[in-house]
């Protein structure tokens, strides 16, 4: 079997004696779209922060492409989109991408080729010279996806990529994620939008109070728990009363 892109083994993280993540274990395979689900405070962002090297685990281990996440080289092949993106609104999309290309020390000619390709992928080529202050929230989110792709990563880690978007914005982000999968990339993201997750994900994991409750393909979870959709599975796992 090929080595998992992400491997998390008995991960624990405590903040001041409060356990944010409790013995979490899961794997994400190459080319998968994997959704990390759970209510606020479930441990999703903490898990992502450990994978990204923003915080150290209290115990357990996590690996990306077989490399311990504590090693900086583990993040070489990652693109990351935080839940809240902050950019200078007077810059244009292509100016932002040039800035990130310089951070990654991408040669100028290659950077320009990638910028052209990425802006077409996220459907912003027509607006590439407009300042971000003129963009809708959905367009700004797609700029965030574009910057996460500038280093041509093999793994995308996306924190709530459709948060606050209208239905059209969510649809466009979902389409982009599908295109990335078609390019052979692995996508790992957290979300509260269960309908979006059910449509786009190969597998999901549901967390609650720092613990993994269930993990597997969406259709198998739906069948196993005798539910009509992922939302019902989610509510059943969290023991939330459902309307008749």
pLDDT digits over 144-162, tens only?
A: 999 999 999 999 999 988 8
Residue with tokens 């405070």: 41
The first and second tokens of residue 71, run together, are: 């090693």
Of residues 157, 198, 205, the one with CA closest to residue 180: 157
For residue 170, the model assigns a pLDDT of: 86
Of residues 66, 46, 29, the one with CA closest to residue 187: 29
Q: What's the pTM?
A: 0.91
Q: What is the pLDDT of residues 95-114, one digit of tens each?
A: 999 999 999 999 999 999 99
For residue 203, the model assigns a pLDDT of: 95
For residue 2, the model assigns a pLDDT of: 75
For residue 165, the model assigns a pLDDT of: 83
For residue 197, the model assigns a pLDDT of: 87
Question: How many whole angstroms from its chain centre is CA 219?
Answer: 21
Whether residue 125 has pLDDT greater than 80: yes
- The whole-number average pLDDT for the span 193-215 is 91
- The whole-number average pLDDT for the span 115-124 is 94
Question: How many whole angstroms from its chain centre is CA 29?
Answer: 14
- Can you spell out the DSSP letters for 120-153? HHTT-GGGTTSBGGGS-HHHHHHHHHHHHHTT--
Percentage above 70 pLDDT, the chain:
98
Whether domain 1-77+187-244 has CATH 3.20.10.10: no
Average pLDDT taken over every residue of the chain? 90
User: 167 pLDDT band (50/70/90 cuts)?
Assistant: confident
Domain-wise residue ranges, the chain:
1-77+187-244
Q: Is the dihedral of CA 60, 64, 67, 68 positive or negative?
A: negative
What Cα–Cα distance (Å) separates residue 13 from each residue in 24, 45, 49, 56, 213? 10, 11, 10, 8, 17
- Residues whose CB is less than 8 angstroms from the CB of residue 26 and which lie 6 or more positions away in sequence, other chains included: 6, 8, 205, 212, 215
For residue 242, the model assigns a pLDDT of: 60
- The whole-number average pLDDT for the span 118-135 is 94
Cα separation, 87 vs 42, whole angstroms? 28
Question: How many whole angstroms from its chain centre is CA 95?
Answer: 24
Q: What is the pLDDT of residues 19-74, one digit of tens each?
A: 999 999 999 999 999 999 998 889 999 999 999 999 999 999 999 999 999 888 87
For residue 85, the model assigns a pLDDT of: 77
For residue 238, the model assigns a pLDDT of: 84
For residue 17, the model assigns a pLDDT of: 81
User: 126 pLDDT band (50/70/90 cuts)?
Assistant: very high
């Amino acid at each position: 079997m090929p080595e998992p892109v992400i491997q998390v083994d008995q991960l624990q993280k405590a903040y001041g004696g409060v356990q944010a993540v409790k013995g979490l274990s899961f794997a994400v395979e190459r080319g998968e779209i994997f959704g990390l689900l759970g209510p606020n405070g479930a441990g999703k962002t903490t898990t992502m922060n450990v994978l990204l090297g923003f915080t150290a685990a209290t115990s357990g281990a996590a690996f990306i492409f077989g490399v311990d996440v504590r090693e900086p080289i583990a993040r070489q092949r990652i693109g990351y989109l935080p839940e809240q993106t902050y950019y200078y609104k007077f810059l244009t999309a292509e100016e932002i991408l040039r800035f990130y290309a310089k951070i990654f020390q991408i040669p100028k000619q290659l950077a320009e080729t990638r910028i052209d390709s990425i802006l077409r992928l996220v459907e912003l080529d027509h607006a590439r010279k407009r300042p971000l202050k003129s963009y809708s929230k959905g367009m700004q989110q797609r700029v965030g996806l574009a910057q996460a792709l500038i280093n041509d990563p093999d793994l995308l880690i996306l924190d709530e990529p459709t948060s606050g978007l209208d239905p059209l914005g969510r649809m466009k982000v979902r389409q982009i994620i599908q295109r990335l999968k078609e390019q052979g990339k692995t996508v790992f993201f957290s979300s509260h939008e269960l309908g979006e997750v059910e449509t786009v994900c190969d597998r999901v994991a549901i967390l609650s109070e720092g613990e993994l409750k269930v993990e597997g393909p969406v259709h198998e979870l739906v069948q196993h728990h005798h539910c009509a959709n992922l939302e019902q599975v989610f509510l059943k796992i969290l023991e939330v009363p459902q309307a008749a």
